[in-house]
Amino acid sequence: MLKAGIVGLPNVGKSTLFNALVANAQAQAANFPFCTIEPNVGTVAVPDERLDQLTKLSSSIDTIPTRMEFVDIAGLVKGASQGEGLGNKFLANIREVDAIVHVIRCFEDDDVIHVSGSVGPARDAEVINLELGLADLAQIEKRRERLKKQMRTSKEAQQEDAALERIQTVLEDGGAARSVELGEEEALMIKPLGLLTAKPIIYATNVSEEDLAEGNAFCTEVINLAANEGAETVRISAQVEAELIELGDDERSDYLEGLGVSEGGLQSLIQATYRLLGLRTYFTTGEKETRAWTFKAGMTAPQAAGVIHTDFERGFIRAQTIGWEKLIEAGSFAEARNKGWLRSEGKDYVVDEGDVMEFLFNV
Ligand code: GDP
């Protein structure tokens, strides 16, 4: 399962956010007895309104969302790349995730100490990004040193070194590896390095409850900074999410309505991170269950079938498929078939976001 790591300076609200994610997961854990929850890894359901509509259409007994993982990576501080504050251990944890959720403190509260003495989103973001960049630079220097000898005889080594040199220049300028355009071969060559600044990133601006609806000047600072990098920003209130855990359904709606919002930001954050990871959803639906399945953008029908079971991929014959909206519009599979909307697709079909699939396969 692909993982997103939650990073940020101390006291920005990472643990509060992570606990809210895990609490949501625990509330749903009854449906997933096989899912264990580790202290800093949370498996969360990806919220999806389409599931409810399809469940209604099929009168399904069960509704099963798809899931993704978040990892709480605490302890990143200035100097981490030099090994300060257990720095290297945390950087190694980040190396293992597939995307980064960078939490930025955008709330003021005199009771919560700020490591730099005041709230300053752009400065904070830079502190973390600099540590990640320095760690990458160290990694690149080590690798280039190794390549030196090989370069005399190997074309590949020369090619890799040239790519690394380009990345190094950008990093030395304070940029991120993800901003360097690489050819397919080059990208494959440097992948094993697991460069931290090459991972896709999303910024989460953590605001207090009164700023959840409209945001504030701190959020704007982050939005501008993120836009410069071509990254997305999601506004959340970790504190509101923490409060929501304690409330029943009715109280939740009242509380959120009072704040002028429909959610605390957690759902949007999960959905945005899911997309950031290049993940897509298709559905299966019937009387027994309506279920969302995760596939990677670009997967063919047999590969997507393999997500359910490897036998489905091996024995794949064809798929019956229809976009979820079309199916809802038709009102039932039978009606969709009558209208000629249900398509029969073969091995080369590239599955689309929101497809409802029925696989035919040999066992
Ligand atoms: P971490 O070090 O980044 O994991 O930060 P924590 O989640 O432990 O939060 C640090 C402190 O800030 C805790 O006391 C939280 O209750 C508080 N906190 C988190 N989010 C908010 C917020 O949106 N507003 C306010 N006022 N306090 C918050």
Q: Which fold has domain 298-361?
A: Ubiquitin-like (UB roll) (3.10.20)
What is the model's pLDDT at position 114? 81
What is the model's pLDDT at position 31? 46
Whether the CB of 205 sits within 6 Å of ligand 1? no
Please, what are the averages of pLDDT over each run of 10 residues along the chain (363 residues)?
90 90 64 50 90 96 94 73 63 89 93 83 92 93 94 93 97 93 92 93 96 96 93 95 89 93 92 94 97 95 94 94 97 94 96 96 84
Please identify, by atom number, the ligand 1 atom nearest to the C-alpha of residue 240. Answer: 23
What is the model's pLDDT at position 37? 45
CATH 3.40.50.300 fits 3-120+196-275, yes or no: yes
What is the model's pLDDT at position 85? 52
DSSP label at residue 13: S
Task: For residue 98, report the distance from its CA to the centre of ligand 1, in Å.
Answer: 25
What is the model's pLDDT at position 290? 97
CB 301 within 8 A of CB 346: yes
| Tokens of residue 109, six digits | 């509260």
CB 223 within 8 A of CB 197: no
What is the model's pLDDT at position 83? 62
| Chain region(s) in the chain for CATH 3.40.50.300 | 3-120+196-275
Pocket test residue of 16, 19, 109 for ligand 1, highest count of atoms within 8 A of CB: 16
Pairing between β-strand 355-361 and β-strand 316-323 as defined by DSSP bridges: antiparallel
CB 344 within 8 A of CB 320: yes
> What is the rounded CA–CA span in Å between residue 209 and residue 222?
18
Contacts of 178 (CB under 8 A, 6+ apart): 197, 198, 199, 200, 201, 229
Return binding residues for ATP: 11-16
- pTM metric for this prediction: 0.87
| Chain region(s) in the chain for CATH 3.10.20.30 | 298-361
Whether the CB of 12 sits within 6 Å of ligand 1? yes
Neighbours of 223 (CB within 10 A): 18
Whether the CB of 13 sits within 6 Å of ligand 1? yes
CB 261 within 8 A of CB 242: no
